[in-house]
Amino acid sequence: MRRLIAPLLMMGLVSFGKAAYADTEKLQTLLQRNNCLACHLIDKRKYGPKLNEVAAKYAGDASAVDVLAKKIKAGGTGVWGEDIMPPQPQVSDADARMIAEYILALN
């Protein structure tokens, strides 16, 4: 029985890893399409906070998708310091929501 379980567990881990990687790819595509990469990278601080840090800050916060989707379009300041994120009216509601979900899934 144990011989069967180990490969199954490993397969589970491998496919989980692939799913996470695919989501990072999708997030990257959305960030590029909406001109976010000028200020944000996923794992390096640029002008704006790095996005895996954003994910960590809102971990377990049920309202975070809404809050971040709104902020992505409206911009703002004061959460990460004094730098200002300008409004991003080019972002569709659907993209803003998807980006927020993918950012939070970086956790």
Instruction: Please report, as ranges, the residues that interact with ligand HEC according to CB under 6 A.
Output: 34-36, 38-40, 47-49, 54, 68, 71-72, 76-81, 83-86, 88, 91, 99, 103
Identify the helix (H) or strand (E) that includes residue 32: helix 2-33
Q: Record the tokens describing residue 38, joined without a space.
A: 């000028």
Q: How far is the CB of 23 from ligand HEC (least distance, A)?
A: 15
Q: How far is the CB of 76 from ligand HEC (least distance, A)?
A: 5
Q: Which is nearer to ligand HEC, 15 or 77 (CB)?
A: 77
Q: Pick from 49, 53, 41, 43: which is nearest to 83 by CA? A: 49
Sign of CA dihedral 103, 51, 24, 30: positive
Q: How far is the CB of 24 from ligand HEC (least distance, A)?
A: 14
Q: Which is nearer to ligand HEC, 42 or 49 (CB)?
A: 49
SS3 (DSSP) at 77 = strand
